[in-house]
Structure 1
Amino acid sequence: MAQKTALEDVQVLDLTQFEAGTSCTEALAWLGANVIKVENPKGGDQGRGASTDTPGVDSHYFMLLNANKRSITLNLGTDRGRQIFTDLLKKADVMIENFAPGAIERLGFGYDVVQKINPRIIYAQVKGFGEGPYENYVSFDMIAQSVGGALSLTGTTETEPLKPGPTIGDTGTGLHCAIGILAALHQRERTGRGQHIKVAMQDAVINFSRIAFARQAASGKAAVRSGNRSALGTTAPSGLYKCKGGGLNDYCFIYTTRAGNRHWDRLLKAIGRADLIGDERFNSPEKRWTHHDEVDRILSEFTQSRTKAEVMKMLGDAGVPAGAVYDTMEITQDPAIQKREMIVTVDHPKRGKFTLPGWPVKMSESHVAVDRAPLLGEHNAAIYAEWLGLTARDLEELKGKDVI
């Protein structure tokens, strides 16, 4: 008997596009939910064509964000399309959208309408901003990172603010939304009622930046960019150290806790400088911070004659937090990461072999194999028959009227 998955009985109508919303529904799909992308027949999710290298073929961007989903086409701008969507809503557990502000309401499917159609539905929305003067502004990841404080914290005071590489404004917001949906589904078990979930991208980035607010609370001033050094300014080492090789990413990040000297003492033993244990300049995290230039000099002497992998292994084996700077290709080719299905290769009907990151949450009683993203409308026949009992002839008629 096949193992059941955590969310296999959860039906999700996914009206999301680009990244913030699709990250949410991809997470739900990887937890076993039946996620159905409801897409415009003319082009579908805008992410399909945006930045594609081959016209008419789904972009790599889209394929990375829509694994394990199914796709139907439906024109919500038609009366028949809206009626069909209404019928689908009656059978759904979750509906989620991240259109521009006001778009879903103009289509006639605001929360006030949908909750009357299905009082048990979890209705989730991802927007750029929460209630306030900017709530009708459109947003993308870099906008959310800017107004959420991430840019102000990234880089150094000698540089302009920098956009962090990971898309925490998009994917980070999507994951916050998924958490809310899971909580709402659990609450529904007690109340029998659905609810309205709203997540603002700005707010999600603020939540990711909580440690910076600790520095503000301690200093009474806005947190400033500290580069690779400790965000709280309370310990050293905390930074990148150049390693042998001379490549763009031949560095290792080394950190010792601000909660005592145990990491520092282990570090000194590992690099052959046990003579510095107890040295007055370095015998507390605060003193090491005061003398961080000397700390950097000592560590650089050690790292520059070794590769980043060697440095990470030597320090990691000694119980010191250290991480080589891996690029995306090194991550993709790492056998251990592949073995735990964090990097997976799937077969795509138009792209062939395609490699993508998998789902990091490993559950002993719920395993969902990573599957490819769907083609536009690929599951029309199966889903419309399963959910609404529509026949092939019905679908041909709807297609002829530009409904699907």
Structure 2
Amino acid sequence: MKALEGIKVLDFTHVQSGPTCTQLLGWFGADVIKVERPGVGDATRQQLVDKPGADSLYFTMLNHNKRSIELNSKNETGKEVLTRLIEECDVLVENFAPGALDRMGFSWERIQEINPRIILASIKGFGPGRYEDCKVYENVAQCVGGSASTTGFRDGLPMVSGAQTGDSGTGLHLCLGIVTALFQREKTGRGQKVSAAMQDGVLNLCRVKLRDQQRLEAGPLKEYSQFGEGIEFGDSVPRAGNDSGGGQPGRILKCKGWETDPNAYTYFIIQAAIWDKVCDVIGEPEWKTDEGYATPDARNDKLNQIFERIELWTMERSKFEVMEICNPLNIPVGPILSMKEIMEDEGLYKTGTLVKVDHPERGEYVSVGSPIKLSDSPVEVSRSPLLGEHTQEILSSVLGYNGADLERVIDSGAVGEVKRQAAE
């Protein structure tokens, strides 16, 4: 059986942060019922469209393993249907603007009245405080969570990351909170509220920079490049370019072909335990015993010089040759892989990290699979639903509407233009 088989999730999420969370729950076996506005659906269905007439990749890659029901929650019959969905489901997940559920007439207190066992999981931009009513998007979250101020080069602008630490990162945090609340419910019989703020999620992923902020009180951060350059530190953690954040000096270095290939680079770490091997590989054996290079503390003010010498060596080799030489010696290196190279890596398909998905409107496309692997609950990725594809199915099989009662709901206008048969 699937890990979350039997769990019903009412998915009131849109765009990226919430759908990331509910997609994970679907991958683990939960029945995820995505509620969408009649005739419109999740806004991302029509954002960044690459194939006219088909749902965008933005939508499809965040909504696998879900069923879609169209529902107007402002319609009285729609409120009736929503009430019954809350009665039937174990989890309600939402990432509306602050106060939206209350305005719909479904406050936490009302939801508890309907179903005391349900878990209400919410993503917001901020937790309680001065910013709690503010909306947040991905790049804003990276800025208010400390990521942007510590990303980029010291003499340049703050930078946001290509990794979606605000949206997808917070969705991952919320998923953990939901599963934890489900586990606690097994003991108490009661649901609870679970919340994840995007600012909090980004900050959690930036904890090493919060560490460094406090280390500054004891003196300069010696593993940062500016220490060796004799540049004083200010009162907050600086941007450190590609310096390693883990205490072991590291840099992105040019490899053979860098002049024409924007990704012909490698990340190279001079971990203390393998310093002797690094010296031998790059042809500087005397550095192993030279008192100016032999210890990590001695090397801290010479990191620029050391990495410039290593780069002379890497520039004579491809990024994969650097990996092939260094990995057997336990020297930590990693090629800078482009998205094209990642999509062509057959090993990632074998592990399910990448999957090929068929879609009735857009054909086959490549998506990410589950990053989490369970030995007894393998993930099977199914395509995202068409808008309202499962409306009738959910009304009848989940909520028990049938006959004249089903026709009443369909005719009310609360559930859009019902597709009598699910698309194949």
Rounded to whole Å, the distance in 2 between the matches of 1:38 and 1:110 is 17
Q: Determine the structure 1 residue equivalent to 2:380.
A: 369
Q: Does 1:85 align with 2:82?
A: yes
Structure-1 residue corresponding to 2:264: 250
Displacement of 1:180 after TM fit? 0.5
C-alpha distance in 2 between matches for 1:193 and 1:269: 62
Which residue identity does 1:251 align to in structure 2?
Y
Deviations 1:124-172 (A, max 9, x none): 0101111112111111111111111110010011100011111100000
Q: Separation in 1 of the partners of 2:283 and 2:369?
A: 40
1:216 aligns with 2:213: yes
Indicate conservation of the 8 Å contact 1:49/1:56, yes or no: no
Partners in 2 of 1:392 and 1:321 — Cα distance?
65
Q: What one-letter code is carried by the residue in structure 2 that aligns with 1:269?
A: D
Instruction: Using the aligned pairs only, state the percent identity.
Output: 41
Shift of 1:293: 1.5
**Cα deviation per residue 1:151-207 (whole Å; 9 max; x = unaligned)?**
001001110001111110000000110010011011111111100011111111111
1:280 aligns with 2:277: no
The answer to whether the 8 A contact 1:49-1:59 is kept is yes
The amino acid that maps onto 2:263 is: N
1:353 to 338, 359, 364: 364
Which runs of structure 2 are paired with 1:27-42 in the superposition (5 Å)? 27-42=24-39
Is the contact between residue 381 and residue 392 of structure 1 (CA under 8 Å) also seen in structure 2?
Answer: no
State the 1:55 CA deviation: 4.4
Name the SS for the 1:163 alignment partner: coil
Q: Give the whole-Å Cα distance in 1 for the aligned partners of 2:164 and 2:354.
A: 18
Aligned to 1:342: 353
**Cα distance in 1 for residues equivalent to 2:284 and 2:369:** 41
What is the one-letter code of the residue matched to 2:9?
V
Q: Which amino acid letter does the alignment assign opposite residue 23 of structure 2? A: E
User: For 2:364, what is the secondary structure of its paired residue?
Assistant: strand
What residue number does 2:252 align with? 240
Match of 1:94 among 78, 91, 94: 91
4+ aligned runs moved over 6 Å, structure 1: none
What is the rounded CA distance, in whole Å, between the counterparts of 2:299 and 2:407 in structure 1?
72
Give the Cα separation in 1 of the matches to 2:346 and 2:278: 28
Instruction: Answer yes or no: is the 8 Å Cα contact 2:53–2:361 preserved in 1.
Output: no
2:57 to 44, 55, 60: 60
Deviation at 1:271, TM superposition (A): 3.5
Residue 116 of structure 2 is aligned to residue 104 of structure 1: no
The answer as to whether partners of 2:88 and 2:399 remain within 8 angstroms in 1 is no
Deviation at 1:286, TM superposition (A): 2.5
Distance change (3 Å), C-alpha of 1:363 and 1:269? farther
Contact 1:235-1:289 at 8 Å conserved across structures: no
| Alpha-carbon distance change, 395 to 56 in structure 1, aligned in 2, over 3 angstroms | farther
2:327 is aligned with 1:316? yes
Pair 1:143-2:140 in alignment? yes
SS in 1 for 2:82: helix
> Could you tell me whether the CA contact under 8 Å between 1:243 and 1:307 is conserved in 2?
yes
| Counterpart residue type for residue 158 of structure 1 | D
Q: Report the alpha carbon displacement of residue 397 of structure 1 after superposing the two structures with TM.
A: 4.3
Give the Cα–Cα distance (whole angstroms) in 1 for the partners of residues 186 and 43 of structure 2. Answer: 35
Q: Gapped runs of 5+ residues in structure 2?
A: 218-234, 416-424
Contact 1:270 1:318 (8 Å CA) reproduced: no
- State the TM-score, normalized to the length of structure 2: 0.90
Distance 1:69 1:387 in 2: 14
1:396 to partner: Cα distance: 5.0
Distance change (3 Å), C-alpha of 1:332 and 1:285 = same
Aligned residues: 396
TM-superposed deviation, 1:235: 4.3
* Selected match of 1:153 from 133, 145, 150: 150
The gaps in structure 1 that reach 5 residues or longer are none
Following superposition, the deviation at residue 83 of structure 1 comes to 0.8
- How far the C-alpha of 1:358 sits from its partner, in A, is 0.7
Q: Which amino acid aligns with 2:151?
A: T
Is the Cα contact below 8 Å between 1:144 and 1:169 reproduced in 2?
A: yes
Shift of 1:231: 3.2
Aligned with 2:9 (options 5, 8, 12): 12
